Amino acid sequence: MKIGIDKMNFYAPHLFVDMNKLAVARNVDPDKFTIGIGQDKMAIAPITQDSVTLAANAALDMLNEEDKKQIDFVIFGTETGVDSSKSAGVYVHELLGLKPQTRTVEVKQACFGATAGIQMAKGHITLNPDSKVLVLGSDIARYGLNTPGEATQGAGAVALLISADPGILALEDNSAYFTSDIMDFWRPVYSDKAFVDGKLSNEQYIAFFKNVWKAYKGKSGLELNDFEAICFHLPYTKMGYKALKTVLEEASEEVQERLLANYKESTQYNRNIGNIYTGSLYLSLISLLERQTDLEPGARIGLYSYGSGAVGEFFTGILQDGFRKQLATEHHQKLFDARKEVSVAEYEAIFEKTLPSDGSKMELDIEEDPSTICLSGITEDKRQYVNKAK
């Protein structure tokens, strides 16, 4: 039985800051951000968007009534969840109007959460071929104003529908994964900003890639020439390129060119949104499929997932007949076109806005936010969500 990605969608908040302007404000050469790091725009989440609303908005546009009847498992990957106890998935389940006969959980391992969700979903579909699993990956990346990590922030979510006989990508069985306890990036429960050892994180990302790629080759007997494209977790778009470069010589010249050209297409959406942590790899896959019009059914795509701390995995999928029909390319173009630029000063003000943590009430102006699903406030420590379409 084929199991894999039947549908996929992403959502990003409607605000962004231009990286050239951020560079000027930080007294940095703009080329450092746009070339050295490889980011053009950074999505900014207003206070009316959190990891719950971003994920719910991503799934809302993707699911039809038939999907909703079949979904019986919601897996929410996030490292910027809103509650240490209650799963963010339960809020999304309600906002989307999914059926009560559903298992719902949140999973966490830095940017690896959504990948863990996909692998769990695969097992669930194996046992229940008629069900569908909604896997969400949603995060708001925050390192702090004026920090080295600032240029690699971002916000957004992906929603993936995992099923039998998938419409987009059938996942293959071979997969290589690796865990090692490393303090490259972490966020203690008392901090709303990530702590990071930037250089170590870059090194470990590449070391884990080399490790799982070697193990994958050993397990599968496949080599680089068997791949049409490889998508990477993209904390910033230069990062995947650095990892790809370390193995590129294993391929023929023709394949090297193809992998590099496809890598470029796979980074375009991320380049304009920033790091969305656990959804980032899948945003890159969406970017590749929607922008690279030469891809044909039967092509093998490699996927490298890395979650600091750290867990890495390399796995693969085969593009399915008619996969283009499942994509929402025009819808995504409209989303990009409708975004609004904010100045660096406006971004800083948005960054500093926080919800009360003393139980007091705050009502938020959701008219300013064009998203269908918004956070409308907080009362007695309970977040209030609104689906404007209901």
Q: How far is the CB of 45 from ligand CAA (least distance, A)?
A: 16
Six-digit token pair at 198? 């930037």
Contact footprint for ligand CAA (CB under 6 A): 29, 31-32, 35-37, 111, 148-149, 151-152, 185, 196, 198, 201-202, 205, 233, 235-236, 238-239, 275, 277, 306, 308
Whole-number Å distance between alpha carbons of 94 and 162 = 20
CB atoms within 10 A of CB 277: 32
Q: Determine which one of 93, 106, 111, 124 is catalytic.
A: 111
Which residue is nearest to ligand CAA, using beta carbons? 36
Q: Give 365's Cβ-side CA count (13 Å radius).
A: 2
Whole-number Å distance between alpha carbons of 229 and 299 = 8
Contacts for 256 with CB less than 8 Å, ≥ 6 apart: 248, 249
Sign of CA dihedral 16, 18, 19, 23: negative
Contacts for 295 with CB less than 8 Å, ≥ 6 apart: 228, 229, 262, 288, 289, 319
Considering beta carbons, is residue 35 or 349 the nearer one to ligand CAA? 35
Q: How far is the CB of 227 from ligand CAA (least distance, A)?
A: 21
Considering beta carbons, is residue 137 or 167 the nearer one to ligand CAA? 137
Q: Give 61's Cβ-side CA count (13 Å radius).
A: 25
Considering beta carbons, is residue 104 or 204 the nearer one to ligand CAA? 204
Considering beta carbons, is residue 61 or 144 the nearer one to ligand CAA? 144
Instruction: Name the nearest CA neighbour of 49 among 325, 286, 385, 389.
Output: 385
Q: How far is the CB of 377 from ligand CAA (least distance, A)?
A: 30
Residue 124 is among the residues annotated as catalytic for this protein: no
Residue 336: left (phi > 0), alpha (psi -120 to 50), or beta? alpha
Residue 111 is among the residues annotated as catalytic for this protein: yes
Q: How far is the CB of 90 from ligand CAA (least distance, A)?
A: 25
Six-digit token pair at 6? 């039947």
Q: Determine which one of 79, 150, 228, 313 is catalytic.
A: 79
Considering beta carbons, is residue 196 or 299 the nearer one to ligand CAA? 196
Considering beta carbons, is residue 29 or 250 the nearer one to ligand CAA? 29
Whole-number Å distance between alpha carbons of 153 and 42 = 7
Considering beta carbons, is residue 132 or 142 the nearer one to ligand CAA? 142
Q: Which residues pair with 109 in a beta bridge?
A: 111
Q: How far is the CB of 361 from ligand CAA (least distance, A)?
A: 34
Q: How far is the CB of 10 from ligand CAA (least distance, A)?
A: 16
Instruction: Name the nearest CA neighbour of 275 among 234, 231, 239, 307.
Output: 234
Six-digit token pair at 314? 């390399």
Q: How far is the CB of 147 from ligand CAA (least distance, A)?
A: 8
Six-digit token pair at 233? 């977790």
Q: Determine which one of 233, 265, 290, 332 is catalytic.
A: 233
303 three-class SS: strand
Residue 79 is among the residues annotated as catalytic for this protein: yes
Residues designated as active site: 79, 111, 233
